Structure 1
Amino acid sequence: AGQTLAHELGGTSAATFWTGTSFLLANAALVPCIGAVSDIFGRRELLMVSLLFFTVGTVVCCTSHTMTQLLAGRTLQGVGAGGIQTMSYIIVSDIVPLRQRPKYGNFTLLAWGLGAICGPVLGGVITEHTTWRWLFYINFPICCLGLLIVPLTVNLRPEKKRTFAENLAAVDWAGGVLFIASISSFLVGLTWAGIQFPWNSYQTLVPIIVGAVGLLLTVVYEKRVPAFPFLRVSVFNSLSAVLVYICTTVHGFLLFSHLFYIMFYYQSIKAINPTIVAVIMVAVNLVLFPASIVTGLMITRFGSFLWAVWGGLAVTTLGNGLLFLLDRDRSVAATVFILLVSSIGQGLLLSALNVATQTMAKTVDVAYAVTMFMFMRTLGMCLGVALGGTTFQNVLLRALEERKVADALVIAVDAESFVARLHAMQSGPTKDAILESYVKGFHGVFSLLVGLSASCLLASFFMKHHTLDRKLDSEHKLQGRHSPKGDVSA
């Protein structure tokens, strides 16, 4: 789809890269503010606003005639998608007792899983047989259904009644603007690093440094100034909580890296058609999401999440280690079985880390714990763009230079675009050297993944057990019906 978009809208490869990255950055920048604003205005209102953002973004994408318009639409979609997913988890936390949340959270995972399973194949079929605009047209029925159903079914209201003017005054405008500007600068610098500009260039360093300083100022401001801070530092109330959020960030890193670099491996080393690659990734997701759903049910049944964190990180580390078996000669069937191992581990973590953050938070901080969980996972994905790309390029460049390949720097800097030329080359020593160098580049990324997952596994043994048997206590109550009782039994 990316090549089709670039061709029809006159975009460059860099602009095509940003169609995905802009969605991710907008998602990360706005998510931390959502919990606080929904505490003030209400859950239904924020969910509706998120749906509207996503719908408007879809309209902009459908009607785009330039890459700039498409990027604007993808940014709006990113804001909306982040709000929809975050509000879904927050609403579940408002109406379902803690121990039951992993079970009911499976419905959200099921929806996400269906999209992840069907999306790649449908996307390939659509772009191959119709116009790319249908990638966005198909969102309209779902958007319209959501806009109709949410006002009728989401009847949560905050206990504290305020006027609209009082709600506006309660919003932490200064903190929100400072955070959004800072995290946007920081993440833009990270996504540029090693991909569009060198790490040591001012184009990379200035936004990263400015963003980092801004984030530090945000934390200081949030602790001391606003009456209703959007950033609750209290969610990091223990070593266990800090470790869970670190593991969540790494999990996001792993999710993105597995998706991107495995697909890139198939397209570059195995020369497989993108549609077939999408089918392979569907097979992988058919294991990941059921594993996550079963994990949620078992956490509810046994009232503990630590076993899932430990098991998930152990299996993920094993799966990352097995990725070193991916080379030029490995059969596609064998590579799929290798990928299934890490998918099981990822599935365990998908449910376990979410419930862990809520379990370790104070009751009044649960909505903020949910938003921080979503932010950290998305932050990890953004880091995967930067650190994964830099690792691959550096290892690839070194391998090309060792094999005395001409134009090594040109190939390493634009490794994705070079794949088409690579496949068109006649068999011989030069092509073999480049392919072997690509394999080395992938193995460099896999080394990073093993190190991160193994470090998190060791750190997870310092996490302490927290009971899930906690009474439901939310400031947002169901209206016109009885709210769920705080029964904590399985």
Structure 2
Amino acid sequence: MADTPRAEPIVPVDADTKDTTAVNTTSNSSTKSGVDIDGKATQGIVTATDDLTKQERAIETGSEIEKHGSAASDRDDDNDSDNDSTKRDETKFNTEKSILGSMSLQRMILTMTALGLAVFISSLDQTIVSGSLPTIAKQFDALGSVSWITTSFLLASTAMQPLYGRLSDIFGRIETLVAGLVVFLAGSAVCGASTSMGMLIGGRVVQGLGASSLMALSMVIISDISIERERGKITSVFAAIWAASSVLGPVFGGVFTQSKGGWPWVFYFSLPVGGAAGLFIILFLRLPRPRGSLVEKLKRVDFIGMVVLVGGIVMLLLALSFGGDTHPWDSPMVICLLVFSVITVAIFVIIEWKIPSEPIMPLRLFKNGNVGISLMQQLFIGATMFSPIFYVPIFFSVVMNSSPISAGLHLLPLMLPVPVFSIMTGFTVYKTGRYRELQWIGGTIMTAGIGLFRLLDENTTTGKSIGVLIPAGLGMGLTLQPMQLTLQTAIEGRDMATGTTLFVAIRSLGGSIGLAILQTVYTNTLSSSLANIISQFPEYAELILASANNQSLIYEAGVPAALKSAIILAYVKSLHYVFYGTIPFAAMVLILSLFIKHIPLRTVMIKTQGNSNVENNMD
């Protein structure tokens, strides 16, 4: 497949001149001067061509609002048939040096630490509660509703993630990120202080609303301050943090639950970490504030689109949560939720197309085919990655009678290769400028690696499990960063935040869909197998049924060896079907990568809504 050319940015500006000049705009041309990131003077002149739209001129000088009369609305841009999505003009800074590269080493480290802590606590809270759920359920005597501790967080975070990109364009990156962090910390405090299951679930909703901003906007800010060609090196570090927190979550949860402070510290732990992250962000991360008063900014928010989109996502996630669990998949409740979620999303598309001047999700995002491919890949990679994170610990709990902490540590052979090979991928992309081929290699290894999970059986040793799990993690590490670059090379700078937050949200949604499908497979297969075992050991029917929620029961004294062996085989069989079901998800990531058109990575800074008019001294 041939590479897709990218139009060169507007005439480059000489970055070596040492005088500072102001931006001068006339009715016929635009004369612009640049300010480098250290605040030292640089000067250059760009004469804009007459065919630049008013919106393009506004973006180039750092404002989303028009500089010459009226602005061209985002909706008008969506209907502009002359806009070629792969051959577009991109404004760029006067220097090829990125904002991040222009920082002093100390400020760079502090900035990365702040964003890294934000990513860490948001990822950690997705899994940290798993080790404490039995204890919480026992304390509140609410085993039937304990699953909502996880579900409520997932609902809130997934529904809000797509919105934060546009909100940060309007209100500012740092302001929106800090606001999300405050909401997250407030939710954490409520969870830790909970005196009832309802209060805890409510706190998890608040936590999720805030947590969704942390991962998404951290990725957006990295896009604001880095060049595409170097970005893989930076985001690979955050992939390492995400992988580490995913593994450490259940471990931390188990440790805190067994500590003197008990399970509340599962949530209180986020307070000092999040507080440090917020302090570092405020003190050391400098990006410009968008112009306009609060009232003017509120008028720009697409409230109708926000409400409709959140409603559609929540209905879909509720259907996935109820289906096969509290309600059959063919129940009126589940069917209605699924149907209305589809209708709501269709209404959302029409709204974004016709109504707001600044849509929460401009349809021009999808003019380039690579965007759709990348988002579909995210859907399937989410399903692929969430499956082993959830089900591999169950395997070790059953076969090796591992504690929650030990079962979580058994994920290390799967998760450790992710950051290692993500970092290698980042440097490879930086050196070669190629990202499509890495997806082909990574997708192939990942699919084959998931297939190897079939080798996990009742006789598996620790050494064998390590060898089985490593290839899938290796393939994931090779695939994650190139997928993000596929998206970001295909969108304009002004849409970077919206595209990136949507990218992150789709992965979470894919994980939810994948787990719902695989949970149905797992539950049906296990129920059938356990029913057969009950017919053979009717006197142990109660224990057999209870083992579905507490695998450690089969290792209690007095359980016949034949019964224990039969239950273990039932679990292994059910988990094999889950692993078989994961293979198509991984294969789709590979198949979709074959249709990606290569768009050269930018080697210069482009203006986004978050970095325009950067004049701060970063030293």
Determine if the TM-score, normalized by the shorter chain, exceeds 0.5. Answer: yes
Contact kept in structure 2, 1:120 and 1:282, CA below 8 Å: no
In 2, distance between residues paired with 1:334 and 1:52? 44
**Structure 2: which amino acid aligns with 1:456?**
V
Distance between the aligned counterparts of 1:121 and 1:401, measured in 2?
33
Deviation readout 1:125-182 (Å, 9 max, x if unpaired): 2222331112122212122222322222232225x62221111011000110111112
Q: Are residues 264 and 117 of structure 1, via their aligned partners in 2, closer, same or farther at CA, if it must alter by over 3 Å?
A: closer
Q: Hey, what does 2:42 align to over in structure 1?
A: none
Q: 1:434 corresponds to which residue?
A: 567
In structure 1, the partner of 2:378 is 248
Asked whether the equivalents of residues 191 and 385 of structure 1 are also in contact (C-alpha less than 8 Å), the reply is no
State the Cα distance separating 1:483 from its structure 2 match.
Answer: 8.6
Q: Does 1:235 align with 2:369?
A: no
The answer to whether residue 283 in structure 2 is matched with residue 148 in structure 1 is: no
**Whole-Å separation in 1 of the counterparts to 2:320 and 2:545:** 16
Cα deviation for residue 62 of structure 1 reads: 1.1
Aligned-residue sequence identity (percent) comes to: 28
Q: 1:473 to 1:455 in 2, by over 3 A?
A: same
Report the AA paired with residue 5 of structure 1.
Answer: I
1:249-268 equivalences under 5 Å are: 249-268=379-398
Question: Is 1:109 the equivalent of 2:244?
Answer: no
Shift of 1:316: 0.9
Contact 2:380 2:588 in 1 (8 A): no
Contact 2:534 2:544 in 1 (8 A): no
Distance in 2 of aligned mates of 1:205 and 1:481: 53
Amino acid at match of 1:147: G
Instruction: Name the CA distance, whole Å, in 2 between partners of 1:283 and 1:319.
Output: 12
Asked if 1:474 corresponds to 2:604, the answer is: no
1:444 Cα deviation from its structure 2 partner: 1.1
Structure 2 counterpart of 1:366: 496
Bigger share in helix = 1
CA 1:255–1:413: 2 relative to 1, 3 Å: farther
The answer to whether the 8 Å contact 1:393/1:412 transfers is: no
Partner Cα distance (1:61, 1:359) in 2: 40
Q: Is the 8 A contact 1:248 1:377 kept in 2?
A: yes
1:481 partner amino acid: N
Alignment partners' CA distance in 1, 2:527 and 2:408: 28
Q: Secondary structure at the match of 1:226?
A: coil
Per-residue CA deviation, residues 456-487 of structure 1 (Å, 9 max, x unaligned), is: 32232111111112532223336442699xxx
Q: What root-mean-square deviation, in Å, do the aligned CA atoms of Structure 1 and Structure 2 show?
A: 2.5
Distance in 1 (alpha carbons) for counterparts of 2:370 and 2:466? 35
C-alpha displacement of 1:39: 0.7
- For residues 171-203 of structure 1, the C-alpha deviation after alignment (integer angstroms, 9 at most, x for no partner) is 000110111112101111111111221111123
Q: Cα distance 1:359–1:414, how it changes in 2: closer, same or farther (>3 A)? A: farther
Measure how far apart 1:89 and its partner are: 0.9
**CA separation of 1:291 and 1:318: change in aligned 2, threshold 3 A:** same
Displacement of 1:370: 0.2
Give the Cα–Cα distance (whole angstroms) in 2 for the partners of residues 36 and 409 of structure 1: 55
Match of 2:607, as an amino acid? D
The answer (yes or no) to whether the contact 1:97–1:470 under 8 Å persists in 2 is: yes
Instruction: Point out the structure with max Rg over C-alpha.
Output: 2
| Residue type at the aligned position of 1:386 | A
2:491 is equivalent to residue 357 of structure 1? no
Structure 1 spans left out of the alignment, 5+ residues: 485-490
Counterpart in the other structure of 1:444: 577
Cα shift at 1:400 = 4.7
SS at match of 1:417: coil
Please identify runs of 4+ aligned residues in structure 1 that moved more than 6 A.
Answer: 406-415
What TM-score comes out, normalization by structure 2 length?
0.73
Is the contact between residue 393 and residue 413 of structure 1 (CA under 8 Å) also seen in structure 2?
no
Which of 168, 174, 178 does residue 44 from structure 1 map onto? 174
Change (3 A) 1:311 1:157: same
**Residue 349 of structure 1, CA deviation:** 2.1
| Cα contact 2:381–2:589 (8 A) shared by 1 | no
Tell me the secondary structure at the aligned position of residue 301 of structure 1: helix
Farther-moved stretch of structure 1 (390-399 vs 378-387): 390-399
Take 1:409 and 1:237, find their aligned partners in 2: how far apart are those partners? Answer: 58
Is 1:288 aligned with 2:418? yes
3-state SS in 2 of match to 1:329: coil
Residue segments in structure 2 that go unaligned for 5+ positions in a row: 1-131
Partner SS for 1:92: helix
- 2:312 is the counterpart of 1:179: no
Rounded to whole Å, the distance in 1 between the matches of 2:508 and 2:547 is 25
Matched-pair contact (CA < 8 Å) for 1:36–1:230: yes
**Secondary structure at 1:157 match in 2:** coil
Q: Normalising by the residue count of structure 1, what TM-score does the alignment of the two structures yield?
A: 0.92
Contact 1:113 1:289 in 2 (8 A): yes
Q: Is the 8 A contact 1:195 1:386 kept in 2?
A: no
SS in 2 for 1:360: coil
Does the aligned pair in 2 maintain the 1:116–1:282 contact within 8 Å?
no
For 2:533 and 2:278, the matched residues in 1 are separated by: 58
